[in-house]
Structure 1
Amino acid sequence: MGIRGLTRYIRSHSEFFQDVSLCNCKLLIDGDNLYHNLYFSSGLDIAHGGDYARFADIVREFFAALRVCRVAPFVVFDGICDKDNKKLATLKQRTQERIIQAQSLSFGGSGSILPIVADEVFIQTIMSLRVPMAQAEVEADSELAALAKQWGCPVLTQDSDFFIFNIPGGVCAFSDLPWHTLSVKASSGQRYIATKLFFQCHLYCQFSLKTPRLLAILAVVLGNDYVDSMVMQPFMSAITQTVKRGPVARPLQIEILFRWLSRFNDERDALHAAMKYVDVSRCKVQEQKLLDIVQEYISPESTLDSFFSTGYFPLRKGYFVSAQAKGACPPCHDPRQPLNPGAKCSEIPEWIGEGLKAGLLPPFVCEAFKLRQIILSTQVECVHLQSSHLCSRNIRYAIYSLLLGGPATSLRPKSRHHRSSGKWCLVEIDRRGKGLLHTQVRPEDSALFAQDIPELHRLPEIQVDSRYHLLLTIMGCSAEDLADVPTDLQLPIAATRHWLIHAVAPKPRPLHLHALLLGFVYGKLTASISAGPVSQAEAPGTGRDLKICIVKALMNLAKSKVLARPQEVTSHVCNQWFSCLVMASHLNKILGYPLQDPPLERLYCGPLVHGLSRALSSPSVSPESLLASSSGTLALYLALQQATTKGPTASVAKVGSKKKKRKSKTRAARNDVKDELDAECGWVSALVLK
């Protein structure tokens, strides 16, 4: 949520804040807000798909600073974005704005598009640090406000809604937290972060408000994500014109509203008085609905206090590991197969609820299950190209079938008469050009495999091997394809195989695959280097020293080739790969992690992959020449390359086929690039048919 103009007004009044030394306390953190601010404030790559290793390092540094100051962080993430579709219009508008920003970034301009797996990298990183975290059922605001009131601790957020919530411990804006610079108390030697906190009491005392509950009226009058500011515009015009005729700047509007609120004893009287200026029949807004929104600010509720008090730290080895701690699993039970799914088919299963609350499952799962509506994420790509999410459509449709139930239909139905009529319908919202495309998805659209789709509540009862086979079937690969791949790269390789088969134009070229796989190798090398030398007696030029040389050579080559403006085709094919990876990751989580969760921070570095793609366009540069100095590293690369291209697949064999048509010279010139890309895609089928 957010209230337009309120942050600027509050921050212009220093009397609302108090200087504090942040140490020896609990700190509730708005998780979504934090990872956005950490990423964008660190100057990390956006245009080329993200720099996740550097981002993970920054996250570790941030929580290390809190630990040194003896600040105990508790992170809460948003759940489903819109429980009752009350803010659907707001979400669509923001998606539209992100599409325009993505277009600007694709041309080398400015924009703030969070790279697609930055949120998951953040979660993986804080889980490795054993930072307590939870995911709210809906937005995290109410959960954080209620917990802060119970615990008496501050909240770290940049959300203006927290100026309205009554938080006795204060509100700390990320921009006011100089976590890079720690201070030391002379008396005790205790390190702390010198910051300032907003206290609501200073605000309502300033305007002599009879109760802090009146502040909640600001949210519905000024407008938030649930209430359009135009609804109360007649009222705002009426009270501002008594002070100044003509247009009134937002800060003055807010001040006038504060002084108007000082007349009333409670929020009900104030809202009733304001609604007299509003044409309810035209605006279709009822006073009671607005009052309900006001009450959400006044009396927030939390279900997470008991969750955090258990000291539960989720581990990604199954749907939820807490079952063993609760005594639900006998000692001989495989922890990757949780017991007691405990829910009817028509309700969300208990294991999904536990997984969502622990952050093991993404909000995508709940949005599909409850809202039947998915807004696909925006990536940096040219708007005249097809959406990169078309590439992962088959995986998404399989996920919907698992979550909502679907027919056991064949991979390629013979006719429409063989397609079952579905009982559910889900709406996907994706980019088409600069606009939004709404697509209805039904069970018959998810005909991906010729076997029964297991019921959702029965998934925990299925053996790991069966879930593993189901995952590979949906991804279109076999266990044999992944046999020589390191376990932490098996899911990314399965996603890469799916990407090669289902990519839409412009399709990937050999250099794009080589660059991605070199990125995987680069990540493995940097992980090995970070772990330290295997032996102190390693000879110079071998082992760790050699890995460091290769890593430096790859990055230096990439830096010399990468451009500020991302290459159009490279961006689009990488975005398609990301879409497949994200959906494969979602599927893996729903199936209880039959494949190891990959370390996302080590998989992709945007400037590296884009730079290597340009470098590999030269005939003198090849993966073999770049890795020739290390036989072990080269062997890893070749194993990954073979795993992505082996196995006869009919879909791959068709890639790159060209229809013989007569073209005018103008049309031929216009399609030169596209034809070259399509022709080069024949390399996939050539490798497969060898």
Structure 2
Amino acid sequence: MGIPGLTTYIENRAHYYLEPFELHDTILIIDGWNLSSQLYCTVATCNHAFGGDYDQFAHCVFQFFKDLLQCKVEPLVILDGGWERKKKHTLIERFKQRIKIAENYYTVKSNNPTLFPILLPEVFVDVMKKMGIRYAMSTFEADDSVSSIAKILNVPVLSYDSDFFIYGVNYIPFHTLDPYIVKRAQSYVKRCRIYRVEKLLEKFKGLDITVLPLASILLGNDYIDRKIFTEFLNRLKIKRSKNQNEQQRRIEIVFDWLKNHSLESAIAAILERLSCEKRKDILPLIEIIINGYVKLSTYMLRPLNIDNEIILDAEKNSKPFKFQNNLNNLDNSNDTINNSQSDNETTRIQLNCNKNNQDEDSADDNDGVESDVNETLPYDKEKEEEWDEENFAALVPQWFIDDHLAGKFPLYFINIITHRVYMMPVQIEDFSCHSAHKISFPLVTSICSLLTTSRDHNNSNTIIQLLIRKDCRLDRQYLSIPPSPVAFEDIRNLSVNERKKIIDDILQIRGNNKLNELPSSWRLYIACIIFWMRQNDDTKRTKLHLNALLLTMLIGIIDRKIGFNRINKNKTAQKEFSEAFNNKEEEIRDGKIISNDKSILMSNLIDSVTEEDCTAAMPFFLDHVNNKLYSMPKAFCANIVHVYAQFQACLRHAMHLNALLGHVYIQPSPSEFLNGTMYYNLYSNFSKRPDVHTYIATKLKDASRLLEIFKGLYHIVINELQDVTIEERSINLKRKRRKNTKKTIEKSIKKDDSTTIQSDIDDTGAPSNFYDPSNLFTLLHVT
């Protein structure tokens, strides 16, 4: 999570610390999830409010890796796994912040903090897999592995995390990358800036690289609250400055103090300012932090297929740090320091928690979440505190370790196994309704049951804590999970058909269904649509929702035929993007999926789609995402987005259950089917049409094959829902209205007003209340 203020400190002195660098002909170690978030926030032209424009994000990721490969840069991507207990409090605080962000969301992109769509990790990994990028997922946090691999291979790191300033690696901050590559003779380079730790050591003469981890401890990290060292920090004379805030001055004075000490003497000096009892608690944490920075972790080298000789050599040179001085020999004159600290603060120290320098009042309504997690759940608290790669590997079957390292599982699987906790990601949704995740609880229950039923403990229920949104706050819900008929260890011993039956039963897929008429990579996706439509809750899904979702699927076919095009530029790169994915759709994973000749009809229809069909249909789809729409959104309909969020929750958990079962269905690619902005605008448009199918037929009259595909999909879904009453359309959907003043934009939006749906495109083609994510003038209302 970084060291507060250190990135700013370095950037303010970029002329000294950050050297110009041309990236080419090298291996590059990439902090995976960090890169994913940076690409989404700063490069992809996605709108957050409508739940995720995954096609545009996938194109952005593809183009980034394509540029690296053109520069003969070989990316090795390391992904974080489950969260460690030290970060639980910080993550909970961030969860509450995301709820507040989602509650106050507008469609105006420039005024919104980023809230990541929930399928972003799946899309990021999917693109890397299809491009042949090497990646691996760590069991827990990956920073140590990223730095270790970079040191062992002597190659740079790409991230945007201030921890890497003190890891002792050659570090390229993401924001220093030029957006384009440059041709050099017969090759290409990507210009950027690189940080070398030697510059820091030169700046503070006498500073040794081994003491740098102590800067993390004193300046604030996720292990220990910086306030613990208040007495020590107060003894360091921080000079006043008009140009620097207190944290910036503290950074400089800490490095200036460390340059006069060895690692042992610096630790001793720090501990001497604590009471004798606190020293015993803090010293092990200090040793853990130091070893995280200096000990070479080789755990992730084998999943990346690094040469075994390199691994063995690194293991020989990797020695853990252990404080050599005797605590009893330290100066005890400060034994009474910090005795005024409250019992609650002492508990937080012992539990390795950190508020990460946030305002203490920010934990108002959920203080005690930490203790509730540990005191309520029936498992060994001490064991829960000590998870690492080795003892975790001893707990789970080898197939699970292999698939996790290969990035096939979501990171929360680790949290369910180790912490018995699932933090359900926040989405943009209607806060007057239940959480959009609730609709997917049958899938969540199955996942939890499979992960927690062992051969030795298969007779009793397991309590899983869900951290989920309720109204406008975080809620802790405890699910009593019944044991699975099959033990965790034995899942992969079942036949493919036995494993397939587990997911089919939950999704209510009957044996005589028409899913087999679909291409194999579409079946799970359509099954999720049917499951989503079947659910009975406080938000009704109508045929308008179904039409919008099915029609959005066609954009993937168009992209593969004529190239990715949302903003009408760089068509050559877009065509290459589509071609790279085109030959992957019908690929059968591991040869274990049972094919069916009935799928040939729909597959042939899809294959028969021509460029003329796509060219004729493209204007209609671009009208719902592209720069022809200049109107200002007069109202944000939370209900439309909420229903879409429900579908994403179903798809997310169905894909994860499918992965756990060994991919009994070919995993769908969300980037080929989902664009939240298009879905939102299609639904808004359809809501004003008296006969939606006649309207669609009119718009796609020159793209007859695409129209037939849509009709075929609609018929298959409706045929499976004959026992369900589905309304044609909703009445009086809730909208969130925006006030016109800038001051109001910065404040929380008010309660939803009930209004009728307005037409987004009238019969003359004039736009009404669309949102265009790529148009800078979308806030202007043109009449």
TM-score (normalised: structure 1): 0.80
Which residue does the alignment assign to 1:129?
Answer: 131
One-letter amino acid matched to 1:137: T
Give 2:443's aligned amino acid: I
Segments of structure 1 that go 5 or more residues without pairing to the other structure are 313-342, 408-419, 447-451, 535-540, 657-669, 677-690
The amino acid that maps onto 1:301 is S
Q: Deviations over 1:446-488 (max 9, x none)?
A: 8xxxxx7222222222221222222110112224332333322
User: How many matched pairs?
Assistant: 600
Partner of 1:256: 253
**Shift in alpha-carbon separation, 1:53–1:469, aligned structure 2, 3 A:** same
* Equivalent residue number for residue 376 of structure 2: none
Partner of 2:32 in structure 1? Answer: 31
Distance 1:150 1:345, change over 3 A: closer
SS in 2 for 1:191: strand
Give the residue type in structure 1 aligned to 2:98. R
- Residue 501 of structure 2 corresponds to 469
Residue 147 of structure 2 corresponds to residue 138 of structure 1: no
Specify the code of the residue in structure 2 equivalent to 1:53. D
* Distance (Å, rounded) in 1 between the aligned partners of 2:692 and 2:276: 68
Which AA in structure 2 matches 1:431?
A: R
Matched-pair contact (CA < 8 Å) for 2:3–2:163: yes
Q: Which one-letter code corresponds to 1:195 in the other structure?
A: C
- Residue aligned with 2:648, SS: helix
**Contact 1:554–1:626 under 8 Å retained in 2:** no
Tell me, in whole angstroms, the C-alpha distance in 1 between the residues paired with 2:393 and 2:165: 41
**Aligned positions of 1:499-518 closer than 5 A:** 499-502=532-535, 504-518=537-551
Aligned to 2:336: none
| Structure 1 pair 70–648 and aligned structure 2 pair: CA distance change class (3 A) | closer
C-alpha contact (below 8 Å) 1:526/1:551 kept by paired residues = no
Q: Deviations over 1:314-372 (max 9, x none)?
A: xxxxxxxxxxxxxxxxxxxxxxxxxxxxx999821111100000111221222222221
Match of residue 597 from structure 1 = 667
Residue 383 of structure 1 deviates from its aligned partner by 3.3
The answer as to whether partners of 1:49 and 1:115 remain within 8 angstroms in 2 is: yes
User: Secondary structure at 1:293's aligned position in 2?
Assistant: helix
- Residue 240 of structure 1 deviates from its aligned partner by 3.6
Closer, same or farther: CA 157–632 of 1 in aligned 2, 3 Å: same
Q: CA deviation at 1:157?
A: 0.4
C-alpha distance 590-562 of structure 1, shift in aligned 2 (>3 A): farther
TM alignment of 1:430-469, pairs within 5 A: 430-444=468-482, 453-469=485-501
Aligned to 1:272: 268
Partner of 2:427, secondary structure, is coil
Contact 1:183 1:194 in 2 (8 A): no
Indicate if the aligned counterparts of 2:82 and 2:412 stay in contact, CA closer than 8 A. Answer: yes
Deviation at 1:239, TM superposition (A): 1.4
Give the CA deviation at 1:257.
Answer: 0.9
**Equivalences for residues 436-585 of structure 1 within 5 A:** 436-444=474-482, 453-481=485-513, 482-502=515-535, 504-530=537-563, 543-557=610-624, 560=629, 563=633, 566-585=636-655
Is 1:429–2:496 an aligned residue pair? no
Letter in 2 for 1:159: D
Aligned residue for 2:269, secondary structure, equals helix
CA change 1:202–1:454 in 2 (3 A) is same
Cross-structure match for 2:10: 10
Number of the residue aligned with 2:763: none
CA contact (8 A) 1:406 1:453 kept: no
1:180-329 equivalences in 2 (<5 Å):
180-184=180-184, 188-240=185-237, 249-266=246-263, 268-278=264-274, 285-309=281-305
Q: Report the Cα offset of residue 504 of structure 1.
A: 3.2
Aligned to 1:352: 400
**For the residues of structure 1 that align with 2:486 and 2:459, how far apart are their CA atoms?**
18
Cα separation, 2, equivalents of 1:253 and 1:478: 65
Q: What TM-score results when the alignment is normalised by the length of structure 2?
A: 0.71
Tell me, in whole angstroms, the C-alpha distance in 1 between the residues paired with 2:634 and 2:218.
43
1:180 shift after superposition: 1.5
Report the alpha carbon displacement of residue 7 of structure 1 after superposing the two structures with TM: 0.6
Asked whether the 8 Å contact 2:421–2:464 carries over to 1, the reply is yes
Measured at CA, do residues 227 and 674 of structure 1 come closer, stay the same or move farther in structure 2, by a change above 3 Å? farther
Partners in 2 of 1:286 and 1:405 — Cα distance?
36
Report the CA distance between 1:673 and its aligned residue.
5.7
1:140-191 CA-partner distances (Å, limit 9, x unpaired): 1011111001000000000111111121xx100110111424242xxx4432
- 1:558–1:509 distance in 2 versus 1, CA, 3 Å: farther
**In structure 2, distance between residues paired with 1:48 and 1:99:** 16
User: Aligned in 2, Cα 1:385/1:119: closer, same or farther, shift over 3 Å?
Assistant: same
SS in 2 for 1:488: coil
Once residues 73 and 35 of structure 2 are traced to their aligned partners in structure 1, the CA distance between those partners, rounded to angstroms, is 16
> 1:593 offset after TM fit, Å?
1.0
Task: Give the corresponding residue for 2:323.
Answer: none
Report the CA distance shift for 1:543/1:674 in structure 2 as closer, same or farther (over 3 A): same
Q: Is 2:151 the partner of 1:78?
A: no
- Distance in 1 (CA, whole Å) between partners of 2:505 and 2:540 is 23
Q: Identify the match of residue 449 of structure 2 among 387, 401, 410.
A: 401
- Deviation, 1:674, is 11
State the Cα distance separating 1:278 from its structure 2 match.
4.1
Write the distance in 1 (CA, Å) between the matches of 2:273 and 2:82.
34
Offset at residue 91 of structure 1 (A): 0.5
Could you tell which deviates more after superposition, 551-560 or 462-471? 551-560
Identity %: 24
Cα distance in structure 2, aligned partners of 1:353 and 1:647: 37
Cα distance in 2 between the residues matched to 1:241 and 1:551: 62
SS in 2 for 1:21: strand
Change (3 A) 1:311 1:297: closer
Point out the more displaced range, 60-69 or 577-586.
Answer: 60-69
Q: CA deviation at 1:392?
A: 0.6
Unaligned residue ranges in structure 2 (runs of 5+): 309-390, 564-577, 584-607, 729-750, 758-783
How far residue 655 of structure 1 moved from its aligned partner, in angstroms, is 9.5
Q: CA deviation at 1:621?
A: 5.6
Partner SS for 2:400: helix
